Structure 1
Amino acid sequence: MTDLTTTDPTTTATVPAPRATAVLDDAHVGDIRGALGTIRLDDTAPRRGLSAKLKTLLAIVGPGLIVMVGDNDAGAFGTYTQAGQDYGTSLLWTLVLLIPVLYVNQEMVLRLGAVTGVGHARLILERFGRFWGAFSVIDLFLLNALTLVTEFIGITLAVGYLGLPKVPSVLLAAVIVVAAASTGSFRRFERTAILLCAGSLLLVPVYFIVHPATGRMAHDLVVPTMPQHARLSDVMLLIIAIVGTTVAPWQLFFQQSYVIDKRITPRFMRYEKADLWLGIGIVIIGAAAMMGFCAAAFAGHGEFGDFTDAGDVAAGLERYAGKTAGVLFAIALLDASIIGASAVSLSTAYAIGDVMGLKHSLHRGVKGAKGFYAVFAGLVLTAAVIVVIPGSPLGLLTEGVQTLAGVLLPSASVFLLLLCNDKAVLGPWVNGRAMNVFTSLVVAVLVTLSIILTAAVLFPDITSGAILDIMGVCGVAGILALGYAETRRRRKGWALGGPVDRTGKENWRMPPLHELPRPLISTGRKVGLTALRVYLLAAMALVVVRVAQLALGH
């Protein structure tokens, strides 16, 4: 794109005029109106001094915090408390390993959002074609719809323990979720969301009431161990569930679109990264607290090793640690389910609005974005109704969500990595070599875990030996793929991830989508994407068949 220029009358110097960007909704341009502060569009002054930097951080805080705390939702409560009740604190180390994975994945999507101004699904559509664009939206829609059901299951468990009527409570929660996002005020929604994020800290007093052994917690956080007297296959599936509930596909779509909707640009990247670290810290603290207090509360009792659901965890905490612990846990579960429902449904509405060209912004009221709010409210209310219908297969739906999330996560990570290496999309913000190496390893691990999870669903009696065989085959396949890629690189004389020119990156934005050159897809990439497509379609079909068999009692 050719730069336009204007003349500054005070200096008679020629300065660059603002370049056109790819932002799809004009509501995504303007002042940053965060829950805790405002940054005007024309405020380009450098932030000097602690006070100025702190005010800027407070205005930016939101996207990273909400996406991370929203991921500690009803499903996460079930997974972390199961790990503590069944295996004590022996799996705490998995949380430490997940910290860099969480940061790398979410840092890449916040970079994509701030630099491109275009949502994740639309970028996939534009850069990889209609099949992958449609696939990304359809699988996100289906998976998020099922995930929303689990959020409302969490609400029923919480209100059931608290002695509140189930049907009115679930419907009231749905109304609250819809109303909070439908006011036409981005700031009002974000203030509500941050207030809910603060509610997740109720897990901390539960931890101190139960008071797990600090030394054992510290040891198991840093020293990887496997539970004694437990089947490797059961432990592996729980580890996969921990990964799946902590690194969920909807997070990628939500964070990228929310960063855009908040009008965050590349010049505030450092502050948004701090926001992300804040969210990660709260997530890890909450997850570790749940594992720790469940391990301590149930140790030596008959329920240890016999997890059922988060509602029974609240009852068990009351029996062994007192009424206050049970009530605080139930309120935290209710809070987590509501914020999870808000974030998951918004990620779907954002993605569909992006791809279908609908007005899609929390800055707009219902009249100004009818399609966006219709998708959002429709998902929330449908999930709520399903949960309150007598006889709904809620347990089966929960299992289906966990499985589909594990199957689909590798594809989301693959496209994230490819987009972050697309120079037409990110320019000076593309990944460096170290980021690519680490993310490639993460993708390889996620693919392996996805295959194990799919196999475990299809063959419930899978043995530990079979799981180790799958891991070995995937490891060999990964080494062969790496060797093939290195051979092609040497044969073609390609450089190995040399330094990237980052000059002027704070002011660089992706040009309009129609101005981008078509991506060149190598033969190796075509083969890889084809293999991924075949695996995803086959795995999803097999999982659907298996779930149908379970539903029919076979």
Structure 2
Amino acid sequence: MSEHRIDERSAAPEPSKSRLLEILGPGLITGASDDDPSGIATYSQGGAQFGYVTNWTLLLTYPLMVAVQMISARIGRTTGRGLAGSIVRCYPPWVGIAITGPLLVANIINIGADLGAMGDAAHLLLGGYALIYVAAFGTTCILLQVFVKYERYVAFLKWLSLALLSYIATLFVVHVDWASFARGLFIPSFTSGPKYWSVIVAIFGTTISPYLFFWQASQEAEDLKEKPDAEPLIEHPREAKAANERITLDTLIGMAASNIVALAIMTTTAATLNKAGVTNIENSVDAAKAIEPLAGKFAEVIFATGIIGTGLLAVPVLAGSAAYAVSEVAHWKVGLSREPREAKAFYTTVAVATIVGMVLNFTPAQPMTALFWSAVINGVVAVPVMVVLMLIASDRTIMKQFVIGKILKILGWATCLAMCGAVVGMAGTAFL
């Protein structure tokens, strides 16, 4: 390619879109998928057990999750590779395996739990057999990822994010103590009980989850294949300003949507379940059932409908992020934009992860009971993953002149410390 050609492409701006929904992409989908049935169960349990007291966690996690997701996105956009792809190029193979192994296991458990929740929600709404719905939902997610063109599939995921509005709607049918809500949001409260710290770690773990880092970085790299005028920033640095502005807007809005919905779920269960003394919430469907006698059938229906909608969004993200990570570590061809015949191992990983998660629902293991604790595990696993993320984002040999700035460094390392502190707090109180 000639020098003239390089300059011409370097000067090309990041493709602009006129409509906000088209501008938003990986950040919106990542944020929306964060409120999956596992997250719904965790937030419901926080609200049911402790009322409005844990609201502050969502105010604190917002800037932290924005920072870490923005860093993930910039790694993908700058290098043209997913997070795992950068890891295997910078560190010994065992580092990639040590990180992607637990990620794969945690994602499969989450997939199983999410599909189980979706099946139970469909049973609650329509009757019939929950396991039939589990199989139908799992099969649908596989078929969509394998056979639907990437551009259409991403558009489908964006529209699914509207399912989150169902949880905003519940606030209009419950009585919220807004004074207690404000105190819980702006004044952090701490107790020494192990249950409280388990909930805190679970909230942090489901809000700042490792699979989200891998997904957003990979989707930024994936989008480059779909935009003929876009290239990795290390090759065409003049695209940086427009690209980083889009990433910032996308991530700010996507994470805001995620935390506002999480706050709505926690507030709804605090205003209904906690107030009525219902504190034992095993899963998201339990929350929907318990809300019905307290807030009416409408609240139950929209709560259960949201479980299905967010699950259809989250299961492909969980399977996809696992497939990106495993495939990049194994040096396989990756990408939802590729035809199945071009990336057989990648799509096989997507299918196997979803099928294994689906099968867990047909065993005595009952993955639904793992919903809450899978969030706790994610909170623990996130710490080493974020350390590697920060090291990559600050390495000039990888990011060139696009290493992250001072503000993102401070927020990124603060996120690592916050997650580590929550884990230490949980471990310390477990023996009291």
TM-score using structure 2 length: 0.89
| Alpha carbons of structure 1 residues 45 and 102: separation in structure 2 relative to 1, 3 Å | closer
Q: Is the 8 A contact 2:272 2:295 kept in 1?
A: yes
Secondary structure in 1 matching 2:280: coil
**Contact 2:42–2:372, Cα closer than 8 Å, also in 1:** no
Equivalent positions of 1:269-418 (< 5 A) are: 269-303=244-278, 305-389=279-363, 391-394=364-367, 397-398=370-371, 401-418=374-391
Change in CA separation of 1:43 and 1:200 when aligned onto 2, cut-off 3 Å = farther
User: Which structure's CA Rg is the greater one?
Assistant: 1
1:139 to 102, 113, 131: 102
Q: CA deviation at 1:240?
A: 1.0
Alignment of 1:25-64 (within 5 A): 44=12, 55=18, 58-64=21-27
* Larger RCO (alpha carbons 8 Å, 6+ apart): 2
Q: Distance in 2 between matches of 1:110 and 1:45?
A: 18
How far residue 323 of structure 1 moved from its aligned partner, in angstroms, is 0.6
Q: Which residue of 2 aligns with 1:232?
A: 193
How big is the shift at 1:18? 6.8
Corresponding letter in the other structure for 1:275: D
- Which residue identity does 1:109 align to in structure 2? S
Larger displacement relative to structure 2 (106-115 or 124-133): 124-133
Residues 250, 347 of structure 1: 8 Å contact kept: yes
CA separation in 2, counterparts of 1:116 and 1:46?
Answer: 15
Counterparts in 2 of 1:104-253, with a 5 A limit? 104-162=67-125, 163-226=127-190, 232-253=193-214
CA contact (8 A) 1:360 1:369 kept: yes
One-letter identity of the residue aligned with 1:252: F
Partner of 1:88: 51
Q: Distance in 2 between matches of 1:125 and 1:300?
A: 50
Equivalent residues of 1:407, 1:454 under 8 A apart: no
Displacement of 1:400: 5.1
Q: Which has the higher helix share?
A: 2
Label 1:45 to 1:233 Cα distance change in 2 as closer, same or farther (>3 A).
Answer: closer
Cα 1:436/1:43, change in 2 over 3 Å: closer
Deviates more, 1:251-260 or 1:445-454: 445-454
With over 3 angstroms needed to count, the CA separation of the structure-2 counterparts of 1:299 and 1:350, relative to structure 1, is closer
Describe the SS at the equivalent of 1:210.
Answer: coil
Unaligned runs of 5+ in 2: 225-229, 232-239
CA distance in 1 between counterparts of 2:13 and 2:244 reads 15
Shift of 1:332: 0.3
Partner of 2:221: 260
Verify the 8 A CA contact 2:173 2:295 in the aligned structure 1. Answer: yes
Which residue of structure 1 lines up, in the alignment, with residue 405 of structure 2? 432
Identity %: 23
Do the aligned residues in 1 keep the contact of 2:72 with 2:216 (CA within 8 Å)? Answer: yes
Distance of 1:419 and 1:118 partners within structure 2? 12
For residues 221-260 of structure 1, the C-alpha deviation after alignment (integer angstroms, 9 at most, x for no partner) is: 222234xxx7532212211111011000111111100111
Which TM-score applies when normalising by structure 1? 0.71
What CA deviation, in whole Å up to 9, does each residue of 1:97-129 have, x standing for no partner?
001111110010111000101111121111121
- Counting matched residue pairs gives 417
* Match of residue 6, structure 2, among 1, 17, 30: 17
Matched-pair contact (CA < 8 Å) for 2:109–2:374: yes
For structure 1, list consecutive stretches of 5 or more residues without a partner in the other structure.
7-14, 20-40, 48-52, 464-554
Task: Look up the SS of the partner of 1:68 in the other structure.
Answer: helix
Letter in structure 2 aligned against 1:183: F
Measured after TM superposition, the shift of residue 395 of structure 1 is 5.3
The C-alpha deviation readout for 1:331-384, integer Å capped at 9, x for no partner, is 101212221111010001112222323222222222232211111011111111
